[in-house]
């Protein structure tokens, strides 16, 4: 048994080592270009501190750590001795994309004069009067080239991130004078923010009703279908088998870097966001494709009441980066290449590293995904989700606590409606953090897990 | 009586004519510069269509009209014959400020590369982790030089406009487990959006309880003090004389172009917005100055749940325009001069024009304001609010309908908790619209009012 474990461990070490080499070569090729074009990185100018004070983290302790400059990103920054360094992968902060956008140089830069975009109004002829026409145009262009969603005969509603649009949908779908709040459900594990956002104001219009799989209340309801799912990455369909339900499709992760694009999604209400498609979380821009005019109108009314429209500056900037993303698909031989090729390569590499580390450690398991044909990338591959849904195997009972004791911050299963043996881990952080993470994960020994569990008891 | 009216009318015509001349000279001086620096205006590039589909306009009919290019702004564009042209002064769209920002040229321009501001996080060390440090710095600089608010020992919370911050305040001040919703009141006439926003989700945390002057319910409550007040422009203080109340000061209009700055406001919770200070409504940026740490923390939590932070792009742009505004105060002899001098001159001119038109017509009245010393502009003057609170005198009963019959769109008194004899009129529109408005108002004859009322009966 001991010798078997030793052989198994050596083989895994080899896989891990090879994967790191591929990663290193790849980054040297890309990283150099980026540095030459853009000079010192953003991170050299700013102290990119982070906390874990964001949504869904009720008990947030203000653990901060200093990022290393991303320009120094290479496996040489992987220092397994610095176990004190806290790696925060709780949030899906998509900083991995910075490298691609540096490569695009001036193409993706925008300039806004002080006198521009002063009015509340963007496009008065449009049902969504605060939607910048240029942004609307680029949304359609991008969906058309990627083929991930039908845009014909749809209203586009822009939001301050898809988070605001989620609330706009709830407002739009809830009857104003119903006797009781409309039930909102999603199959567990579900996105941890859904229950918090739904119930934060104790609305009389709608109410979080938990796991869609066990939902059996009579009457109308909203079912949220997140596909690929946050946190576990699986493709999803509606699970409630009842009449009176309205489906809302959150397709934030239905992009070719994460998932094979099997067909253009064609649902009544579909939500997207730049945070996960191009990586621009700081813009706070999302969009909804909505079939029904009255639903779209009510969503617009919500955004109007909530924030009187959506930042024009960010919409203009979003239009620019979507334009560059689409152009990159059309001309993949350009200097910077295609955003989706770039991100797909990184995600594949990271998932390979993670699976190797998980095998190496022997303490965890990950979901398996069957390969499927992607019509956009014209190849078959298994999904490589934006989050890893990691399970700690027995005897570890609380996976989040266990990883925290190793200075790895993740989000525990209970936030997603399941047990504490699961955690969600962001796969979108900068290289230097991701590399430390997989390296550390691969070297956590079973002995450590026993110690933690003994202490906890 | 007839001859008295004729004399009165002639004198008023003279005042109106002189005021228009002053306006014309002033604009020729400023307008030329702006055109030379910036070339063709924004409005030549875009069809600046507008609707009246915004908040508080329940019965919104989609009346649209085409703006004329603002570069042609002079009284020559006042064509009293074009009575079919709809002038929409329902919203406080601050497009009057475009002219100033054109004068500032490159000073107020920002450039954002595609790779910048991608993370959700702005300043992890700060309680408000999504607040751009540069913006925070410029907020403090501006308040210090204008002297309109105390910033010491305050937390700054940024919001997607002050509208979002208003909701953040309600969330922060409402006990999560109270038996019934907290009452929210404000003295009528109050901002028309307050009741709509407060009640739109039928929150169990808080509830609109109407006019503060007639509020007599026992228990805790929130009183909104808007000063200068929207819609009527009066300086305000709390009116509810009970214990258990928490005051929220909406100081969106406490800037020297609208009101003498008598002293630095020093309240527990103060709300501001760029929409009305610099005129950048399209940015959707507001800020709160908050004394209590726990209240600030809960406000941050609300913005986190509602939109996961605030557009970084707009915050960076807001930092830039605030910086230019402050520099303009420090160096008022610069080419573009001071924003507040510019806006104060326009507001004074517009109020003079409006009062002359109102006298000329004989059908309306306006609030009177006593002059007060402004410590910032170092002179005494009467307030010149961002909205005119116009009253139609008898026999006109519905002032909004009466003005609409003259193709002037305003917001009627009932939206503000008072009677239909009042309307709110934006004073911040572009010159070519404002000029048509005052010209048309001055020539509405009593005979017309009789006709309308007869038709309505």
Tens digit of each residue's pLDDT (9 = 90 or more) over A32-42: 333 333 332 22
pLDDT > 70 fraction of chain B, expressed in percent and rounded:
80
Ordered DSSP codes for B197-214: HHHTT-BSSEEEEEEGGG
Residue of B101, B124, B315 to mutate, testing the A interface (most A Cβ within 10 Å of its Cβ): B124
Which residues of chain A have a CB within 8 Å of the CB of B53? Answer: 124, 129
Is the pLDDT score of B234 beyond 80? yes
Q: What would the pLDDT profile of B384-435 be if each residue is shown by its tens digit?
A: 999 999 999 999 999 999 999 999 999 999 999 999 999 999 999 999 999 9
Is the pLDDT score of B81 beyond 70? no
How far is the alpha carbon of A7 from chain B, nearest alpha carbon, in Å?
Answer: 42
Contact A284 B160 (CB under 8 A): yes
Which residues of chain B have a CB within 8 Å of the CB of A320? Answer: 114
- pLDDT at position B333 is 86
Which residues of chain B have a CB within 8 Å of the CB of A309? Answer: 282, 284
Contact A305 B94 (CB under 8 A): no
Q: What would the pLDDT profile of B110-129 be if each residue is shown by its tens digit?
A: 999 999 999 999 999 999 99
Contact A204 B202 (CB under 8 A): yes
Mean pLDDT over A299-320 rounds to 98
Which residues of chain A have a CB within 8 Å of the CB of B312? Answer: 282-284, 314
Q: Is the C-alpha dihedral spanning B71, B75, B80, B83 positive or negative? A: positive
CB A249 within 8 Å of CB A273: no
User: What is B120-330's CATH topology?
Assistant: 3.40.640
CB B132 within 8 Å of CB B125: no
Asked if the bond preceding B53 is cis, omega within 30° of 0, the reply is no
Is the pLDDT score of B1 beyond 90? no
Q: What would the pLDDT profile of A226-253 be if each residue is shown by its tens digit?
A: 999 999 999 999 999 888 899 999 999 9
Q: Is B58 on the interface with A (CB under 8 A)?
A: no
Residue of A114, A202, A301, A310 to mutate, testing the B interface (most B Cβ within 10 Å of its Cβ): A114
Q: Half-sphere exposure of B32 toward its Cβ, with a 13 Å CA cutoff?
A: 5
Contact B163 A125 (CB under 8 A): no
Mode of pairing for the β-strands spanning B221-226 and B206-211: unpaired
Contact A111 B107 (CB under 8 A): no
CB B159 within 8 Å of CB B273: no
Instruction: Determine phi and psi for A241, rounding to 5 degrees.
Output: -105, 70
Burial-class residue B69 by CB neighbours within 10 Å (0-12, 13-18, 19+).
middle
How far is the alpha carbon of A62 from chain B, nearest alpha carbon, in Å?
Answer: 9
Which residues of chain A have a CB within 8 Å of the CB of B70? Answer: none
Q: Is A111 on the interface with B (CB under 8 A)?
A: yes
Contact A54 B308 (CB under 8 A): yes
Mean pLDDT over B44-66 rounds to 30
Q: Is A117 on the interface with B (CB under 8 A)?
A: yes
- pLDDT at position A60 is 31
How far is the alpha carbon of A456 from chain B, nearest alpha carbon, in Å?
Answer: 30
Hey, which CATH number is domain A2-105+334-456, 3.90.190.20, 3.40.50.2300, 1.10.287.130, 3.90.1150.10? 3.90.1150.10
Q: Is A10 on the interface with B (CB under 8 A)?
A: no
Measured between alpha carbons, how far is residue A178 from residues A168, A246, A298, B205 in Å?
18, 16, 16, 19
Tokens representing B227 are 């000063």
Task: Please give the angle made by the CA atoms of B374, B379 and B385, to the nearest 5 degrees.
Answer: 55
Q: Where is B390: in which H helix or E strand?
A: strand B387-392
Per DSSP, the three-state class of B389 is strand
Encode chain A in three state secondary structure: CHHHHHHHHHHHHHHHHHHHHHHHHHHHHHHHHHHHHHCCCHHHHCCCEECCCCCCCCCCCCCCEECCCHHHCCHHHCCCCCCCCCEECCCCCCHHHHHHHHHCHHHHCEEECCCCCCCCCCCCCCCCCCCCHHHHHHHHHHHHHHCCECCCCCEEEEECHHHHHHHHHHHHHCCCCCCCCEEEEECCCCCCHHHHHHHCCCECCEEEEEEHHHCCCCCCEEEEEECCCCCCCCCCCCCCCCCCEEEEEECCCCCCCCCCCCCCECCCEEEEEHHHHCCCHHHCCEEEEECCHHHHHHHHHHHHHHHCCCCHHHHHHHHHHHHHHHHHHHCCCCCCCCHHHHHHHHHHHHHHHHHHHHHHHCCEECCCCCCEEECCCCEEECCCCCEEEEEECCCCCCHHHHHHCCCEECEEHHHHCCCCCEEEEECCCCHHHHHHHHHHHHCCCHHHHHHHHHHHC
Contact A120 B281 (CB under 8 A): yes
Ordered DSSP codes for B133-181: HHHHHHHHHHHHHHT-B--TT-EEEEESHHHHHHHHHHHHHS-TT-SSP
Mode of pairing for the β-strands spanning B286-290 and B155-159: antiparallel
CB A350 within 8 Å of CB A427: yes
For residue B57, give the chain A residue with the closest CA: A301
Which residues of chain A have a CB within 8 Å of the CB of B204? Answer: 201-204
Which residues of chain B have a CB within 8 Å of the CB of A38? Answer: 113, 115
Contact B118 A110 (CB under 8 A): no
Nearest beta carbon to residue B202 from set A193, A205, A314? A205
Rg, chain A, Cα only: 22
- pLDDT at position B17 is 54
Q: Is B38 on the interface with A (CB under 8 A)?
A: yes
- pLDDT at position B5 is 43
Residue of B282, B324, B342 to mutate, testing the A interface (most A Cβ within 10 Å of its Cβ): B282
Q: Is A334 on the interface with B (CB under 8 A)?
A: no
CA A91 – CA A388 distance, rounded (Å): 12
Is the pLDDT score of A364 beyond 50? yes
Torsion of CA B210, B211, B215, B217, to 10 degrees: 10
Nearest beta carbon to residue A50 from set B121, B280, B307? B121
Least confident residue range of A259-263, A445-449, B84-88, B102-106 = A445-449
How far is the alpha carbon of B159 from chain A, nearest alpha carbon, in Å?
Answer: 9
Is the pLDDT score of B308 beyond 50? yes
- pLDDT at position B18 is 55
CA A104 – CA A336 distance, rounded (Å): 6
Supply the mean pLDDT for chain B. Answer: 85
ipTM metric: 0.85
CA A285 – CA A122 distance, rounded (Å): 15
Question: Which band of pLDDT confidence, cut at 50, 70 and 90, is reported for residue B306?
Answer: very high
How far is the alpha carbon of B396 from chain A, nearest alpha carbon, in Å?
Answer: 31
Least confident residue range of A26-35, A294-303, B418-427 = A26-35
Measured between alpha carbons, how far is residue A360 from residues A17, A363, A434, A444 in Å?
11, 9, 16, 9
CB B384 within 8 Å of CB B96: no
Which residues of chain A have a CB within 8 Å of the CB of B313? Answer: 282-283, 311, 313-314, 317
Contact B163 A200 (CB under 8 A): no
CA B256 – CA B260 distance, rounded (Å): 6
Question: Which band of pLDDT confidence, cut at 50, 70 and 90, is reported for residue B11?
Answer: low
Q: Is A262 on the interface with B (CB under 8 A)?
A: no
What are the structural domain ranges in chain A? 2-105+334-456, 120-330
Question: Which band of pLDDT confidence, cut at 50, 70 and 90, is reported for residue A11?
Answer: low
Is the pLDDT score of B453 beyond 60? no
Question: Which band of pLDDT confidence, cut at 50, 70 and 90, is reported for residue B445?
Answer: confident
Buried b (16+ CB within 10 A) or exposed e, A35-58: eeebeebbbeebebbbbbbbbbbe
Contact A311 B160 (CB under 8 A): yes
How far is the alpha carbon of A114 from chain B, nearest alpha carbon, in Å?
Answer: 5
Q: Is A71 on the interface with B (CB under 8 A)?
A: no
Nearest beta carbon to residue B119 from set A95, A302, A307? A95
Q: Is B164 on the interface with A (CB under 8 A)?
A: yes
How far is the alpha carbon of A80 from chain B, nearest alpha carbon, in Å?
Answer: 25
Instruction: Determine phi and psi for B272, rounding to 5 degrees.
Output: -135, 165
Q: Is the C-alpha dihedral spanning A392, A394, A400, A402 positive or negative? A: negative
Measured between alpha carbons, how far is residue A160 from residues A130, A168, A248, A312 in Å?
11, 11, 18, 11
Instruction: Determine phi and psi for B279, rounding to 5 degrees.
Output: 90, 10
Which residues of chain A have a CB within 8 Å of the CB of B162? Answer: none
Which residues of chain B have a CB within 8 Å of the CB of A308? Answer: 54-55, 161, 163, 281, 284
Mean pLDDT over B447-451 rounds to 54
CA A309 – CA B284 distance, rounded (Å): 7
Residue of B313, B328, B336 to mutate, testing the A interface (most A Cβ within 10 Å of its Cβ): B313
Is the pLDDT score of A194 beyond 90? yes
Tokens representing B339 are 């924003």
CB B152 within 8 Å of CB B140: no
* Better-scored residue on pLDDT, B381 or B81: B381
CATH class of B2-105+337-456: alpha beta
Residue of A203, A303, A309, A313 to mutate, testing the B interface (most B Cβ within 10 Å of its Cβ): A313
Least confident residue range of A8-12, A296-300, B9-13, B77-81 = B77-81
- pLDDT at position A7 is 44
Least confident residue range of A167-181, A200-214, A215-229, B442-456 = B442-456
CA B49 – CA A208 distance, rounded (Å): 40
Burial-class residue B190 by CB neighbours within 10 Å (0-12, 13-18, 19+).
buried
CB A171 within 8 Å of CB B196: no
* Better-scored residue on pLDDT, A387 or B37: A387
pLDDT > 90 fraction of chain A, expressed in percent and rounded:
76
Per DSSP, the three-state class of B227 is coil
CA A180 – CA A110 distance, rounded (Å): 48
Contact B313 A101 (CB under 8 A): no
Contact A163 B108 (CB under 8 A): no
Question: Which band of pLDDT confidence, cut at 50, 70 and 90, is reported for residue A358?
Answer: very high
Instruction: Determine phi and psi for B333, rounding to 5 degrees.
Output: -90, 5
Q: Is A101 on the interface with B (CB under 8 A)?
A: yes
- pLDDT at position A62 is 29
Nearest beta carbon to residue B109 from set A106, A114, A119? A114
Q: Half-sphere exposure of A451 toward its Cβ, with a 13 Å CA cutoff?
A: 8
- pLDDT at position B334 is 85
Q: Is B137 on the interface with A (CB under 8 A)?
A: no
């Amino acid at each position: 048994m001991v010798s078997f474990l030793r052989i198994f461990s050596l083989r895994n070490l080899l896989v891990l080592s090879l994967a790191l080499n591929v990663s290193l070569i790849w980054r040297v090729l890309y990283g150099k270009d980026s540095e030459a074009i853009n000079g010192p990185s953003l991170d050299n100018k700013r102290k990119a501190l982070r906390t874990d004070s964001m949504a869904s983290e009720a008990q947030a302790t203000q653990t901060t750590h200093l990022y290393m400059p991303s320009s120094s990103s290479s496996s040489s920054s992987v220092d397994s001795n610095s176990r004190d360094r806290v790696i925060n992968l709780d949030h899906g902060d998509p900083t991995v994309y910075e490298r691609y956008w540096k490569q695009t140089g001036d193409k993706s830069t925008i300039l806004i004069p002080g006198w521009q975009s002063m009015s509340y109004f963007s496009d008065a002829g449009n049902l969504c009067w605060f939607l910048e026409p240029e942004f609307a145009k680029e949304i359609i262009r991008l969906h058309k080239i990627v083929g991930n969603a039908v845009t014909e005969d749809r209203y586009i509603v822009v939001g301050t991130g898809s988070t605001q649009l989620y609330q706009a949908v709830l407002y739009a779908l809830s009857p104003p004078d119903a006797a009781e709040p409309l039930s909102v459900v999603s199959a567990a594990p579900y996105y941890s923010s859904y229950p918090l956002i739904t119930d934060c104001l104790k609305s009389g219009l709608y109410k979080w009703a938990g796991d869609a799989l066990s939902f059996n209340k009579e009457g109308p309801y909203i079912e949220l279908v997140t596909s690929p799912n946050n946190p576990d990455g699986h493709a999803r369909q509606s699970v409630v088998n009842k009449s009176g339900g309205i489906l809302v499709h959150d397709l934030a992760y239905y992009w070719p870097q994460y998932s094979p694009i099997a067909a253009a999604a064609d649902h009544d209400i579909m939500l997207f966001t730049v945070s996960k498609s191009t990586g621009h979380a700081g813009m706070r821009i999302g969009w909804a494709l909505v079939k029904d005019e009255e639903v779209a109108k009510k969503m617009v009314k919500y955004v109007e009441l909530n924030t009187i429209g959506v930042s024009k500056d960010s919409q203009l900037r979003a239009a620019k980066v979507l334009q560059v993303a689409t152009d990159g698909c059309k001309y993949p031989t350009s200097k910077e290449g295609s955003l989706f090729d770039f991100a797909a390569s990184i995600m594949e590499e990271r998932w390979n590293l993670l699976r190797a580390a998980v095998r190496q450690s022997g303490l965890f398991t990950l979901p398996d995904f069957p390969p499927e044909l992607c019509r956009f990338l014209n190849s078959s591959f298994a999904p490589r989700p934006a989050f890893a849904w990691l399970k700690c195997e027995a005897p570890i009972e609380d996976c989040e606590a266990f990883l925290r004791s190793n200075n790895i911050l993740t989000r525990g299963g209970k936030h997603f409606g399941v047990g504490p043996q699961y955690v969600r881990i962001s796969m979108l952080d900068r290289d230097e953090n991701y590399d430390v993470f997989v390296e550390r994960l691969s070297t956590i020994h079973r002995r450590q897990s026993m110690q933690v569990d003994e202490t906890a008891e």
